Amino acid sequence: MSGLVWTLVRTDFKTRYHGTAGGFLWALLKPMSMFVVLMGVFSFLFASKPTYKLDLIVGLFLWDFFAEGTKSGLISLQSKSYLLAKTRVPPWVLVITSIANATITLTVFLVVIAAFLAATGHPPTLEAFAVFAMYCVALLAMVVGFALGSSVLFLRYRDLNQVWDLILQAGFFLAPIIYPLGILPERFHFYLYVWPPTPVIEFSRTVLVAGSVPTLRGHLYLAIDAAVCLILGAIVFKRLSPRAAEFV
Amino acid sequence: MKALEVDAVSKSFSIPSVRRDTVREHVLAAFRPRRFDRLQVLDSVSFSVSRGEAIGIMGRNGSGKSTLLKILSGVYLPDRGRVQVHGSITPVLELGVGWNPELDAVDNILLIGAVMGLSLAEIRRSLDGILAFAELERFAQLKLKHYSSGMSERLGYAIAFKAVREVLILDEIFAVGDAGFKQRCEQRYLELRAQGCTAVIVSHDPRIIATYCDRALLLDAGRVAFEGRARDVADYYVSALTHLEPVS
């Protein structure tokens, strides 16, 4: 099994980045360049908020993981249909390993974020970073749940990736990534928090940038949110995956 | 000791009058019902294979041979009935093992070898042997999408013959390659049989069934129409076809 997981991750890496470290650099460069552009424009608009660029980099990198992870998870079974149709391979392995590359990128970003925070005079404490890592795990759980559910649905509904692209495009602005949540009236906040990346991004900023800890209620909400995503996805997957090979 | 037990396996596919596989089509046609026809591909098929035995499966196009092999291989799930496999199965279905066209031969061997249950160390050790068997040493670094169909089929057999442990499933065996390759395949097949390997072979070629199988069954419209010694089944199949009569 470990050999299978390793070769699958390696396959994704090779086909995605053409097997080169340079290809992997491009994956890192995408949100980095986005960060530079957005910072150039919006740090003037939000000049009153001194920590804007820190908030931006945390939000962007987490968002990039969410977007990349869900996109590759959604198409995972379809893109491995050549295995699904011809071999006895457990489909969940195909789904889980498809998120590996996004997770590797996220891990690199964690280091970049820590370095960036330290360089701008906000070195995170070990505790803060540990809590942040927990939020990343919650985000990972959401992405895994989404990937499980959507990957089997995508085999039946072949335009689901386009629908998801639309949602992601809107979702980028629904999540408070390029704007501080505070500019919106308080009564809207609850609805924004329903969109799963929002609590992860907001809480991560709270511990890393502001240096405080979100409320217990907030944490509970995040845990339930992640659990619901994961369980819902797993249920859909368990129902539909046994016949997945018939739809490829 | 049984290697394979197939007990009253049935499989049908639902064929809609209109194919809809996108969200858009489903939404636009939400109130236009469609008719579903059921295509009964396998109808209560039962047989068993002893350990070390080779069984042939014959039948005309559309008689359910390939579906049966996919169910035996664990790719499809039967609607009713049960398949019990005692030991590991190595399938070569429809002249392929599930290549990724974007990877070269070496990476594909690693991937498929891992899917077939070999450890990475085992695959690395047998890499040269597999390439030599398929006579593809010169093309080891070539992406599979640039391979001719004959080349990729040869590679498929080479890896399956290497990976097989207990049960070998072959769809149209020995139908590929030139005389030299066929001879090597036949020789390797006999070696595996001598080692106690169980084989399930689908073929239209009565000579192959008569030569390489102990027993055979003839499928007609998803039912076992005739079962017996391989040579008898092969003769029956030929006479039934040449007289242009319905087989059953």
Q: What is the pLDDT of residues B176-207, one digit of tens each?
A: 778 889 889 989 999 999 999 999 999 988 99
Cβ contact, residue pair A159, B102, below 8 Å: no
Q: What is the pLDDT of residues A109-118, one digit of tens each?
A: 999 999 989 9
* Nearest-by-CA chain B residue for A93: B115
Q: What is the pLDDT of residues B130-156, one digit of tens each?
A: 999 999 999 999 999 999 988 998 999
What's B186's domain CATH number?
A: 3.40.50.300
DSSP string for residues in B31-46: TS---EEEEEEEEEEE
Q: What is the pLDDT of residues A179-204, one digit of tens each?
A: 988 889 989 888 889 999 999 999 99
* Probe site for chain A from B115, B124, B169 (most A CB atoms < 10 A): B115
DSSP string for residues in A167-221: HHHHHHHHTTSSS-GGGS-HHHHHHHHHSTHHHHHHHHHIIIII-----HHHHHH
- What confidence category does residue A147 fall into, taking pLDDT thresholds of 50, 70 and 90? very high
**At residue B244, does pLDDT exceed 60?**
no
* Average pLDDT for chain B: 91
Q: Is residue B248 part of a domain?
A: no
Say whether residue B1 is in contact with chain A using an 8 A CB cutoff. Answer: no
Cβ contact, residue pair A4, B119, below 8 Å: no
Q: What is the pLDDT of residues B45-92, one digit of tens each?
A: 999 999 999 999 999 988 999 999 999 999 999 999 999 999 999 998
**At residue A176, does pLDDT exceed 70?**
yes
- The shortest C-alpha distance from B160 to chain A (Å) reads 11
**A84 contacts in chain B (CB < 8 Å):** 75
* Probe site for chain B from A79, A82, A158 (most B CB atoms < 10 A): A82
**A88 contacts in chain B (CB < 8 Å):** 73-75, 89, 91, 115
DSSP string for residues in A38-96: HHHHHHHHTTT-TTHHHHHHHHHHHHHHHHHHHHHHHTHHHHTHHHHTTS---HHHHHH
Cβ contact, residue pair A14, B110, below 8 Å: no
- The shortest C-alpha distance from B29 to chain A (Å) reads 14
Do the strands B223-229 and B54-59 form a parallel or antiparallel pair, or are they unpaired? unpaired
Which residues sit opposite B93 in a β-bridge?
B96
Cβ contact, residue pair B21, A163, below 8 Å: no
Q: Is residue B104 part of a domain?
A: yes
Say whether residue B115 is in contact with chain A using an 8 A CB cutoff. Answer: yes
Number of folded domains in chain B? 1
Q: Is residue B233 part of a domain?
A: yes
**At residue B245, does pLDDT exceed 70?**
no
Q: Which of A15, A86, A89 sits opposite B96 (nearest CB)?
A: A86
Query: What is the complex's ipTM, to 2 decimals?
Result: 0.88
Q: Which of A3, A11, A88 sits opposite B74 (nearest CB)?
A: A88
DSSP string for residues in B159-177: HHHHH-SSEEEEESTT-SS
pTM: 0.91
**B98 contacts in chain A (CB < 8 Å):** 82-83, 85-87
Q: Which of B77, B107, B120 sits opposite A14 (nearest CB)?
A: B107
Say whether residue A160 is in contact with chain B using an 8 A CB cutoff. Answer: yes
Q: Is residue B16 part of a domain?
A: yes
Cβ contact, residue pair B120, A3, below 8 Å: yes
Q: What is the pLDDT of residues A66-125, one digit of tens each?
A: 999 999 999 999 999 999 998 989 999 999 999 998 999 999 999 999 998 999 888 889
Cβ contact, residue pair A11, B111, below 8 Å: yes
* Nearest-by-CA chain A residue for B88: A88
DSSP 8-state secondary structure symbol assigned to residue A241: G
The domain locations on chain A are: 2-247
Least Cα distance to B99 among B131, B147, B40, B55 occurs for: B147
**Residue B99: which domain range?**
2-28+36-242
**At residue B248, does pLDDT exceed 60?**
no
What is the rounded radius of gyration, in angstroms, for the C-alpha atoms of chain B?
20
**B75 contacts in chain A (CB < 8 Å):** 84-88, 245
Say whether residue A1 is in contact with chain B using an 8 A CB cutoff. Answer: no
- The shortest C-alpha distance from A246 to chain B (Å) reads 7
